[in-house]
């Protein structure tokens, strides 16, 4: 039995889709995730006088209303039946997100106990066998196997085992014993 650490935003919850909706509304653009396949997300959004989307992340409702990533519920449920699964989210930067993320998890992943759901500010203290995350800052300090979940903001990042969806994670982790 392995200990698997799973991030929330852009791993379980599709934060990027909502971020792009906000960005497009604010800037009169119509970009989608594939727009960032070959360009740096952060450089683009911080260029050409684009209005920032980040203030919206502090608004009530942002984290509570995110959609679930395809196949995440089924795969995480199966993983939790065979391994120790913890959902760890760096949430304290966004105070409204604490209750919203808890409620979101209770609705969409009720099989994950509150004891296995952690909200923190810095994941460098997290220990386990596998971490699935979309940010290098969390993976680079992790001592176990690091799986980079593909996201629009990390397309140009290399040096990690990249996973593109939950079915791929299922195939990769199914043989862990």
- Cα dihedral 154, 76, 119, 177 sign: negative
Does the active-site annotation cover 150?
A: no
CA atoms within 13 A on the CB side of 103: 12
Closest CA to 18 of 93, 69, 71: 69
Does the active-site annotation cover 7?
A: yes
Alpha helices (H) in 62-142, listed in sequence order: 72-82, 97-108, 136-139
For residue 6, which phi and psi values (nearest 5 degrees)? Answer: -125, 130
CA-to-CA distance for 129 and 26, rounded, in angstroms?
41
Kindly name the residue from 7, 10, 133, 134 that is annotated as catalytic: 7
Both tokens of residue 167? Answer: 């079915």
Kindly name the residue from 9, 14, 133, 134 that is annotated as catalytic: 9
CA-to-CA distance for 134 and 141, rounded, in angstroms?
13
Catalytically active residues are 7, 9
């Amino acid at each position: 039995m392995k200990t698997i650490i799973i991030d929330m935003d852009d791993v379980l919850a599709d934060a990027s889709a909502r971020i792009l909706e906000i960005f497009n509304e604010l800037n009169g653009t119509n970009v989608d995730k594939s727009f960032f396949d070959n360009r740096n997300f952060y450089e683009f959004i911080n260029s050409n006088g684009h209005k920032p989307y980040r203030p919206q992340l502090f608004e009530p409702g942002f984290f509570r209303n995110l959609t679930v990533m395809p196949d995440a519920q089924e795969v995480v449920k199966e993983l939790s039946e065979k391994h120790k699964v913890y959902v760890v989210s760096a949430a304290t930067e966004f105070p409204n997100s604490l209750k919203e993320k808890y409620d979101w998890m209770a609705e969409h992943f009720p099989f994950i106990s509150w004891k296995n759901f952690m909200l923190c500010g810095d994941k460098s203290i997290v220990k386990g066998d596998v971490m699935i995350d979309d940010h290098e800052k969390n993976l680079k300090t992790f001592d176990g196997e690091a799986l980079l979940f593909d996201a629009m903001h990390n397309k140009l990042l290399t040096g990690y085992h990249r996973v593109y969806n939950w079915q791929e994670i299922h195939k990769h982790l199914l043989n862990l014993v």
